[in-house]
A and B are shown apart, each in its own frame.
Chain A
Amino acid sequence: MYILDDHIVCAVAGIDSDASILVNRARVFAQSYLKTYSEEIPCEILVKRLCDIKQGYTQYGGLRPFGVSFVFAGYDDLHGFQLYTSNPSGNYSGWKATSVGANGASAQTLLKQEYKEDFSLDQACELAMKVLSKTMDSATLTSEKLEFSTVGKDSASGKVYQKIWKPADIDALLKATGLGKAEEDD
């Protein structure tokens, strides 16, 4: 899980070393946009520019493409809360709920069945946990096997916040949803 800017985070599936190169580029894009326009970069522009880099490696021989899929979560004034995925070919798409990586397809099916438009943040967190528990290869979920993050907007101040969850927070959620219990019972 990486913070790209104050208003956008991303998760990575694939080759971590490739990802860190792209994450670095994304952070530079975000700051150079802020310097030029005195505004935070709109999410889609950042995603698009990263995908332009990825796409470049599909056109010419001799170089290995970036073996990375991303999930981006962000907020901007243009389109509000946004979720994107991108793959090594440089295609990107916007979603209400999505997954990439190992068992991504079966996770996607579960999300499609259970996702509701009017989910609260707690309900969405619970669904994410549920889908992870069903699609991950490990028998039990613990905070050691998961990373979890949320992007939200403070209703009082109107400020966008992002939270990369601490292990204790993840364990608390696992306990609340009853998904991490098996291990504790032992």
Chain B
Amino acid sequence: MDILIGITTKDSVLIATSKSVARGVSVIKTNDDKTRELTDHSLLAFSGESGDTTNFAEYIQANIRLYGTRNGFEMSNKAIASFTRNELASALRSRKPYQVNILIGGYDVKKKKATLNWIDYLAANVELPYAAHGYAQYYVLSLLDRHHDPNMTQEQGLELLKDCIKELRLRMPIDFKGVQVKVVDEAGVRKLPEDF
């Protein structure tokens, strides 16, 4: 029931992830961070089988840092998404696949372009202007279809994201304890202090 939403704007990507962790019928955490920073300008958000999720995310994070130190430059976001897809694809064909769904938000400082990649546990990788994982998709994709504009500002993107969260609070049958929002833009990755 975890929520992952990503929205690209003209010069940034917004990534929202739900803050709750639930085991069975109990909520056991209300300030969970379902993201990992891969490079200065790349953020990975994950949902799925707990255990698999952090393990896989940190494995990808470590490999991307290793590439950076070995080669003296960071991987592009396309390369990061492709690498992650490949890891999921080979896990999928192993005895125990990772059950992890992923969004990767990135900003290319040279090309001045924000990108968002949607990757699911079946290792499908798509670059999209906006995306969501899990049940949240059913509620927010229609809103995003209607209101998203690739040239929108970061502020407009945040307003759209707030509308999405409002709809989720109204329609979702469970309390997801709000979302944490991180922004990736020219300045890097930062967490927004506001309460969503």
Contacts and interface: CB of A to CB of B under 8 A. Distances in A.
Interface in B64-110: 71, 73, 75-76, 78-79, 81-83, 86
Contacts, number: 21
A39 B86 contact: no
A35 interface: yes
B86 A35 contact: yes
B73 A36 contact: no
A35 B87 CA distance: 12
A39 B79 CA distance: 7
Interface of B is mostly: helix
A42 interface: yes
Interface of A: 35-39, 42, 44-45, 78
A37 B73 contact: no
Contacts of A39: 76, 78-79, 82
B71 A45 contact: yes
B79 A38 contact: yes
A77 to B, nearest CB: 8
A37 B83 contact: yes
A36 B76 contact: no
B79 A78 contact: no
Contacts of A42: 71
A42 B74 CA distance: 12
Nearest to A34: B82
Given A38-B78, A39-B78, A78 B73 contact: yes
Given A37-B83, A42-B71, A78-B73, 16 more contacts: A35-B86, A36-B82, A36-B83, A36-B86, A37-B75, A37-B78, A37-B79, A38-B78, A38-B79, A38-B81, A39-B76, A39-B78, A39-B79, A39-B82, A44-B71, A45-B71
